Structure 1
C-alpha cells in the first residue's frame, strides 16, 4: 500500500482482492468464514449483506486484520498485506463502526487527529486537516472543534466517526453497520452524506449492513452472503432486484421490488422546483405583501441560516397578529440532492403537504420536489419494468423456438431410418 499522500493531494481508492479468505475458531467444527474470494474495484462501494451470524462482519474485519485470517490472502492495490504489521495496516485503512466508537475523554478535534498524529503528521497539517474533515461532514469547525462526544447527538457522533476514519486520507474505508444505532430520519441523512462524500472522494468502501434497502441505496455492487460468508450473488443493485440468483436472494429482496428501485434514483436526477421564500428577518408587512401579490398562496419561511423553518399560507397570516411565532406549519423533514426518491416520497407522505424541501450540505434551502414529480418517476420505472419483462419473455420464446427447431432437425431420417440404406 502507498504511504499517506502529501498535503493538498487526495488519495483515491484502491483495489481489494480476497483470495480463499478463511477464519476458523478453535473448538468450532465449521469455519466462521469459508474460502471467500472476490475482487473489489478501486473507488467502488461494495455492501456485504446477509443474515445475522453469516460472517459478514468477520470478513470485513479480516481486511484490516482486526481479526486475523486462518487462511487465504488479502491484497490491497496488488500488495499482499496478510503478513505485514497489522498496526501499520490499520493506520492506512479507515474504519467506522456503529455508535461511532469515539473516545469519550477526547474532544472532537483530538478524536479526528488521532491517526494523523500516530503516523507523524505535523501540528499545522493536523490542525488544517481537522477543520477540513469537519467541514467535509457538514459540521461547523468553530462550533464542534472543542466539544466532547457526550455533547453531540447520535448523528453528529457518527459524522465525527466518519471524519476520523477519513482523516489520514486512506484509500480504503471499512464500515461495520455504522448507522445502525441512530433513528430512521438521522440514518437517511447520514446515508445521503456518505453518498455525497463518496462522489467527492472516490474511496474504496466496504460496508456491512443487515438492511437490504440500505444496501440498495449505497452500493455500487452488493454481495449477498449465506452462512460462512459463501457468496449467493455479487452484482449491481439493479441486477439483484430484477434477477435474483435464487430463492435465498429473493428472500432478501422481499416484496415490492419495483418500489425498491426508488432507492436507485436520486433527488438530483429529477426536476427540483422552486417556491417563493421569505426569512424570519423580513418585516411582517413585506411577507404579507409577497403572499398577497404572488401567484401562489404559500411561502417557505427560512431561518437565519437559510434553512427551511415553516410553510406559510395566506390564512396563517391572519393569525400572525404581528408575530410569526404561532403562524404557519413547521417543516418536519427535508431531503438532500443525494437522497433517494424513496426518501423523498416518505418525506412527502409524512409531511402530508404534497412536497418536500431540498437542502444543501449545511441544511440551506435549495428547492422542492413535489408529489407529481415523484409519481411520474414511479410510473416511468414501472413502465420500464413492464417493457423489460416483455422483452425478456420474447427472448425466452425465441430460445424455445430455436430449441424446438434443432430438435426437429435432429429427429430427421438417419442412416438407420427410412431410406437410410439407399443413401448409404
Structure 2
C-alpha cells in the first residue's frame, strides 16, 4: 500500500508555553516551549546534556508536572485530566526497557491492555501480534523472562509493551542508548519499519545527531532550558543550519550525514541465485551452471542469508555444505540507511551485502556500484542546491543595493 493510502493513527500534539521550574532553582529547567507536532510525525528532540529535552518529553505524559503552560493532544487540553488515565493513552519507552523482571514477556506486554479492561482473548491476540510486529517469534519469546533476553530483545519487548494498547502517541527517551552500536542500528531500522506501518506520533529524545537524522521527520535542536535553536527537517538543518550553535551540533561531514536520509528500499535491490541447506549438491551445481555466475547465496532453513558459495567451494564440499563457503558477516534491512549499507559493503571483499526482511529472511542484495551511484546523486544535488542558494543570495544583495541607491536618490543625495 502506498504511504499516502496508509491510515495515520497518531494524534497532533501542541505545547503552549510549556515551562518547568524546580524549587530552589534560579532559572527554569524548561522555559516556555512552543511546538506543534503533526499526527503521524516523528519528531526528535536533540541537544546537549542538561538542556531539558527529557524533562520536556516527560511533561507530555505528565511524569513530570508542568509548572505552567498547556499540552493539547488532538486538540484536547490534557493538563488538567487525571495523569494516570493520560499515561494509559500514551506509549512510553525508555533506555533500560523498563520491563518488570518478575513478569514474562507476555505479561509485560499485556500490562496496559489489562489495566484498561481489555478481554483476555483480545489481550492474548494482541500480545502475539505485538511480538510479531517487533520481529520476535511469539512461540519462542512468549514465556521468557527479561533476564533471558539480550539487550536488543528487551528493547523490542519494551517497544511492544509501549504500543500494546494502540496509543496514538509514543514517547521514547533515549531508548537505544544502552545497547551496542550494531544492535542500535538494527533497533533504529526496526523503529523506522514500525513507523512505516503504524504512523503513530513519535517524540524521541537523543543526544546523538546521527540518530536524529536517521529517524526524524523533523528535528528540534534545543539549547539550554529547551529553547529551540532550529525546528526543521533533517535536510534543511544539514544544508542550512540557522546559526553557529546548530552548525556546531551538526558537526563535520554534513554531506556524508545526508546518507542517513536515504533508505536501502529507495535504491536498486538486486537478486542473486540462492540455494537452501536441503538442496542436493548436484542441484546446486546445476543452478550455478544455469545462471552462468560464479557465486550463490546459501540460505538457512528460515531463509536467512547464511553463506556465500563459490564454484571452488562446491568442488571441495565433498558431499556436505557444512564447511563450504564463507559465512555472511553483515546484512542490512530495507529500512537501513545508505550509510549503514555503505559501511557493511566496505567490510565485504566482494562489495555487496544481503538485504533482509522483518524476520531476517532474504530479500535481495545491494552492491557497491548502486550505493556509489546514489552517493554521487546526493552530492550532485547538494552542489546544485548550494549554487542555487548562492545565486539567491547574490540576487538578494543586488536587490538590496538597488533599493539603497534608489532610496538615496529619492532623498536628494544624488550629485
- Listed one character per residue, the Cα deviations across residues 278-334 of structure 1 (whole Å, up to 9, x for unaligned) are 111111222233334432111100000100001111122233222222211111111
Q: Secondary structure at the match of 1:351?
A: coil
Provide the residue aligned with 1:139 in structure 2.
136
Deviation at 1:416, TM superposition (A): 8.0
What residue in structure 1 maps to residue 313 of structure 2? 316
- 1:212 shift after superposition: 0.5
Structure 1 residue 391: Cα displacement? 1.2
Query: Does 1:115 pair with 2:112?
Result: yes
Cα distance between partner residues in 1 of 2:261 and 2:183: 19
The superposition leaves residues 34-92 of structure 1 with CA deviations (integer Å, 9 ceiling, x where unpaired) of 11111111110000000111111111011001111111111111111111111111111
- 1:382 CA drift (Å): 0.6
Which of 170, 175, 194 is the aligned partner of 2:172? 175
Q: Structure 1 residue aligned with 2:270, among 259, 269, 273? A: 273
Query: Does structure 1 residue 92 correspond to structure 2 residue 89?
Result: yes
Say how many residue pairs are matched: 409
Q: Could you tell me how far apart the structure 1 residues matched to 2:405 and 2:413 are?
A: 17
Q: CA deviation at 1:248?
A: 0.8
Name the structure 2 match of 1:59. Answer: 56
Say whether 1:192 aligns with 2:189: yes
Is structure 2 residue 344 aligned with structure 1 residue 337? no
Q: CA deviation at 1:417?
A: 6.6
**How far is the alpha carbon of 1:413 from its aligned partner?**
7.1
Could you tell me which residue of structure 2 aligns to residue 26 of structure 1? 23
Among 121, 126, 131, the residue aligned to 1:129: 126
Aligned residue among 58, 78, 87 for 1:81 = 78
Aligned-residue offset at 1:411? 3.0
* Contact 2:317/2:323 (8 A) holds in 1: yes
Provide the residue aligned with 1:4 in structure 2.
none
Change (3 A) 1:309 1:414: closer
Q: Find the counterpart in structure 2 of residue 369 from structure 1.
A: 366
Q: Structure 2 vs 1, CA of residues 395 and 321 (structure 1 numbering), >3 Å: closer, same or farther? A: same
RMSD (Å), alpha carbons: 1.5
CA 1:417–1:120 in 2, change beyond 3 Å: closer, same or farther?
Answer: closer
Counterpart position of 2:211: 214
- Answer yes or no: is the 8 Å Cα contact 1:11–1:171 preserved in 2: no
Structure 1 length-normalised TM: 0.94
In the alignment, structure 2 segments of 5+ residues that lack a partner are 1-6
- Which deviations, in whole Å up to 9, do the C-alpha atoms of 1:159-203 show, x marking residues without a partner? 110000000010000000111111111111111111111111111
Deviates more, 1:110-119 or 1:400-409: 400-409
Q: Is the 8 A contact 1:11 1:169 kept in 2?
A: no
> What secondary structure sits across from 1:281 in the alignment?
coil
Q: Is the 8 A contact 2:45 2:204 kept in 1?
A: yes
Q: Taking structure 1 as reference, are residues 20 and 319 closer, same or farther at Cα in structure 2, changes over 3 Å only?
A: same
Relative to structure 1, the CA distance from residue 414 to residue 166 in structure 2 (aligned partners, 3 Å threshold; closer, same or farther) is: closer
Matched, 1:360 2:354: no
CA contact (8 A) 2:13 2:74 kept: yes
Q: Is contact 2:304–2:362 with CA below 8 Å preserved after alignment?
A: yes
Matched with 2:3 is none
2:303 pairs with 1:306: yes
Give, in whole Å, the separation in 2 of the partners of 1:31 and 1:276: 61
Shifted more, 212-221 versus 315-324: the winner is 315-324
Helix, strand or coil at the partner of 2:101: coil
Query: Is the Cα contact below 8 Å between 2:344 and 2:353 reproduced in 1?
Result: yes
What SS does the aligned partner of 2:177 have?
Answer: coil
> In the alignment, is residue 164 of structure 1 matched against residue 129 of structure 2?
no
Of the two, which has the highest radius of gyration?
1
How high is the TM-score relative to the length of structure 2?
Answer: 0.96
Residues 318, 244 of structure 1: alpha-carbon distance in 2 compared, 3 angstrom cutoff: same
Return closer, same or farther for 1:23/1:415 CA change in 2, 3 Å cut-off.
closer
